[in-house]
Structure 1
Amino acid sequence: MALKFSIKHRFASSRVKCVDLHPTEPWMLCALHNGHVQIMNYKTQQLVKDFELCDLPVRSARFVARKNWIITGSDDKLIRIFDCKTMEQVHSFEAHSDFVRCIAVHPTEPLVLTSSDDKLIKLWNWEKMWECQRIFEGHTHYVMQIVFNPKDNNTFASASLDRTVKVWQLDSVSANLTLEGHEKGVNCVDYYHGDDKSYLISGADDRLVMIWDYENKTCVQTLEGHAQNITSVCFHPELPIVLTGSEDGTVRIWHSDTYCLETSLNYGFKRVWSISSMGGTNNVAMGCDEGSIIIKVSSEEPTMSMDKVASALPATSATSSGNSSPN
């Protein structure tokens, strides 16, 4: 495929648990293990905002562009909503009885899904004063990630340490189907965006990546090669590639049709925790133990580095939550 990968942004910081890209602004959002949230402008090479949310890990943060919001989920069990221009807190509430692992924002409706170590997934409506409209039960261990189906926004998938991937509908509290095949806990899940395949991808602590046909409930491909737990998986919304991140410090790029390994990237930021890509751009963001990176796919020349900004920031270190939960 002859893709090229160049560093567009490299930002040293504490452990980055989640990254998100703004759909219209040149912003990358980072949720940090030390309780901070950061916004970086990867065009101006500026740190836009760095503020402390709490003294516990922030495991998820998402842009809601149509509301000019940032939504965060953290180990203090709270969901917080901020104005992403002023960074003033709009609202906060206790969403779960344990750590908040993941947030998924519905692309058109005023709905947000959250998942937690309490084994539950909850649906919230911000137009109804953040009312909890539905609780989805069925997982028997921590629910590590949730993601909406881009081809059917009424359905979503979840990954759990109970070794399963489940597919749900918003109007039903019971899962439509359960995909079983991983030998250890599943950390991450994503949907294929094209119309030609009804596929899901999952990554687990068994170091395997599995491609599922969720209509036929079968595993169609297993990707092997990572040396440690799989922490993040991503079907690029436009390019024919699959990205997989691991605690082995690498991001592997696979062809989404042939499943051949295209390349393995290692930028020396240690364990990879999060990968985010955005339609309409070739930028891919990565969150790692020692910072965040944005690469540009198919670009021959690096366009920027954030090292000079990072060097001006005080050194930070990841803090432990004192809980035996996975990192």
Structure 2
Amino acid sequence: MLWMESRHINPPLIKIISVEETDVKLYALEANQIEPWIITGHADGCVDIWNCNTQKSMRLINVSRGIVCSVKFIERKCWFLAGSTDGLISVYKYNRTTKVQATTRFIAHEDSYSIRSLAVHATQPYVLSSCGTHIKLWDWDQNWKCRQTFEAQSTVNQVAFNPKDANSFASASDDHTVKIWSIDSSKPKYTLSGHLGGVNCLDFFTSNDQQYLITGSDDKTAKIWDMQKRMCVDTLKAFMSPVISSISHPCLPFLITGTRDGAIHLWNSTTFR
């Protein structure tokens, strides 16, 4: 079962989507912001597109010989991306009838294999990929040229562009830190330290016109970081297991965290309760 939000509906709804038709382990999930679809990445190298309304699979595509660890829609291009454990990024074009056509596939990371995270820039033709200790910035307008390589010094579990700063992004690392980067420099601008375990996930959000970052860690906490003060302002502790997913709701004042033991918590993004 997948628990997800349908953002294309106003007001947004929370739905339960059943994917019990497959017994292949699921590794990645992404919701389309225009169509009522989700895409899932699986251990057998396949991605599946699901209709949220019918709760049925619309298209199953084999994209890799490795595990598909990250999937992303790029709605303005009618594309989806799949990053896999063989270091490949696969790009596919789709239309409203879910007809799918492969457009390109390239080796993004040669030295280490598993692509753990992908992030799509909101306005520029950029995609970030993280693999091992490396982060790369790709430009699809330049035939997927690598514009910059960032050396994180520790395994990067997730990357995310800053929605309020077009030239900035954040990375969550196994060295217990979050690093803030400029896309124009291979070195981080600054580091946020405070977790006692590896940082697995992160997401930017805004509350009362102030920008924050939520992070989840192996130390069984989530932390709230004030991006202006560059410091932790709250620690969420109601967890019995490592926090492996943290997202902010795009319309409602909710923060959503998921833990390795299968628990989901909803938090108020103003009071952090």
Q: 1:58 aligns with which of 68, 71, 80?
A: 68
Q: Measure the CA separation in 1 of the matches of 2:259 and 2:25.
A: 14
Q: Measure the CA separation in 2 of the matches of 1:129 and 1:8.
A: 38
Q: Which residue does the alignment assign to 1:308?
A: none
Q: Measure the CA separation in 1 of the matches of 2:198 and 2:224.
A: 16
Q: Which residue does the alignment assign to 2:259?
A: 246
Q: Measure the CA separation in 1 of the matches of 2:138 and 2:127.
A: 5
Q: Measure the CA separation in 2 of the matches of 1:6 and 1:181.
A: 32
Runs of 4+ in 1 over 3 A off after TM superposition: 5-8
Structure number with the higher strand fraction is 2
Report the identity percentage.
Answer: 38
Moved more, 237-246 or 31-40: 31-40
SS at structure 2 position matched to 1:192: strand
Q: Which residue does the alignment assign to 1:126?
A: 140
Deviation at 1:223?
0.4
> Is contact 2:176-2:194 (8 Å) kept?
yes
SS at structure 2 position matched to 1:66: helix
- The amino acid across from 1:131 in the alignment is K
Q: Which residue does the alignment assign to 1:40?
A: 50
Residue 115 of structure 2 corresponds to residue 105 of structure 1:
no
SS at structure 2 position matched to 1:71: strand
Deviation by residue 1:219-244 (Cα, 9 ceiling, x = unmatched) = 10100122111111011122111100
Deviation at 1:9?
2.1
SS at structure 2 position matched to 1:253: strand
Q: Measure the CA separation in 1 of the matches of 2:69 and 2:242.
A: 17
* Alignment gaps of 5+ in structure 1: 261-327
Q: 1:116 aligns with which of 131, 136, 141?
A: 131
SS at structure 2 position matched to 1:190: strand
- The amino acid across from 1:253 in the alignment is L
- The amino acid across from 2:41 in the alignment is A
Q: Which residue does the alignment assign to 1:232?
A: 245
Deviation at 1:210?
0.5
Q: Measure the CA separation in 2 of the matches of 1:45 and 1:254.
A: 27
Q: Which residue does the alignment assign to 1:277?
A: none
Deviation at 1:195?
6.1
Residue 195 of structure 2 corresponds to residue 182 of structure 1:
yes
**What is the TM-score normalised by the length of structure 1?**
0.74
Q: Measure the CA separation in 1 of the matches of 2:104 and 2:247.
A: 30
- The two structures, once aligned, show a CA RMSD in angstroms of 1.5
Q: How many residues align?
A: 254
Q: Measure the CA separation in 2 of the matches of 1:6 and 1:82.
A: 28
> Is contact 1:150-1:193 (8 Å) kept?
no
Q: Which residue does the alignment assign to 1:322?
A: none
Deviation at 1:43?
1.4
* Alignment gaps of 5+ in structure 2: 1-12
